[in-house]
Amino acid sequence: MFSSNHEPANIKEVFCSVQGEGPYVGMRQAFVRFSGCNLNCSYCDTNFGNPGTCDYERVEGSGISEKVPNPVSIEKLESMLQPFKKLHSVSLTGGEPLLHADFIEKLNISAPLYLESNMTLPEQARKLRKNVAYVAGDFKLPEAIRDICPETREVHVENTIECFRLLKKSSSRDCFCKIVIGKNTNSDTVIMAAEAIATCVSCIVLQPETPLGSAVRTPGFTQASVQTILKLQKTLLELTDTRIIPQTHRMWGCL
């Protein structure tokens, strides 16, 4: 399931853009999107399938991608990141990047690493404590995960809390939590999640679900009401800094 120390990794795409989510919105980043995921979120906007080649957009915003054969070696990825200048950080995302922790652990790049994770694999998270400077950790609400059964629901929550404890904010690492809020989100579950990880994070981001596909044309189809999200923010502000930030990259069409 996980890449070993020496194996290269299957990568979906590598590009340079700006962070579209959370408190670092607008910061210039290189993105490394690893293939594969261990979850199946109802709202997922990403095709993390394992293609034979990695789409590499060498010139930011050009829309011109080269096909780099998968799996990609550590050395090859490091060279693919070379052309991207003035970066705030390199976003390691997916799919689920924790599935590739052994690969990430070996990366040797000058820019700080920004881990974009579903926070469900504590033993993998433990490997990255020393080399990620930013943790954008989702708290995946059980009701948003397809096929989750009651027995695994508790373990899922425990694993998530353990990941936040392992990667919690420190003098050398920022860690914040994103929670996607959709029409079916149970506010009590959000509050449970926030109470469990509030001391591990610098802030909580309530991220309204972005409608996908045909739902885009039916406003309100998947989103929670503004009133619901604002009420949740008021409650969570009793615990920690809580912000409401939508996916901004969807608004202006960057990758």
Ligand X SMILES: Nc1nc2[nH]cc(C(=O)O)c2c(=O)[nH]1
Ligand Y SMILES: C[S@@+](CC[C@H](N)C(=O)[O-])C[C@H]1O[C@@H](n2cnc3c(N)ncnc32)[C@H](O)[C@@H]1O
Contact footprint for ligand Y (CB under 6 A): 21, 37, 43-46, 93-94, 96, 116-118, 138, 178, 180, 207, 209-210, 212, 247
Task: Name the residue nearer to ligand SF4 (CB basis): 212 or 230.
Answer: 212
**In the complex, what is the shortest distance from the CB of residue 20 to ligand X, in angstroms, rounded to a whole number?**
3
Q: Which among 215, 234, 203 is positioned nearest to 21, based on CA atoms?
A: 203
Lateral strand order in the sheet of 28-34: 66-69, 53-56, 11-18, 28-34, 89-93, 113-117, 134-138, 174-181, 204-208, 242-244
Q: Does 117 bind ligand X (CB under 6 A)?
A: no
Q: What is the phi/psi pair of residue 125, to 5°?
A: -60, -40
**In the complex, what is the shortest distance from the CB of residue 236 to ligand Y, in angstroms, rounded to a whole number?**
17
Q: Does 243 bind ligand X (CB under 6 A)?
A: no
- 36 interface partner picked from ligand X, ligand Y, ligand SF4, none, CB below 5 to 8 A per type: none
Q: Does 183 bind ligand X (CB under 6 A)?
A: no
Give the rounded distance of the alpha carbon of 186 from its chain centre.
21
Candidate ranges 22-30, 32-40, 122-130, 158-166; the one touching ligand SF4 (CB under 6 A)? 32-40
Q: How far apart are CA 174 and CA 155, in angstroms?
A: 25
How many residues at the interface with ligand X, by CB under 6 A?
11
Q: Does 19 bind ligand X (CB under 6 A)?
A: yes
Q: What is the phi/psi pair of residue 206, to 5°?
A: -90, 115
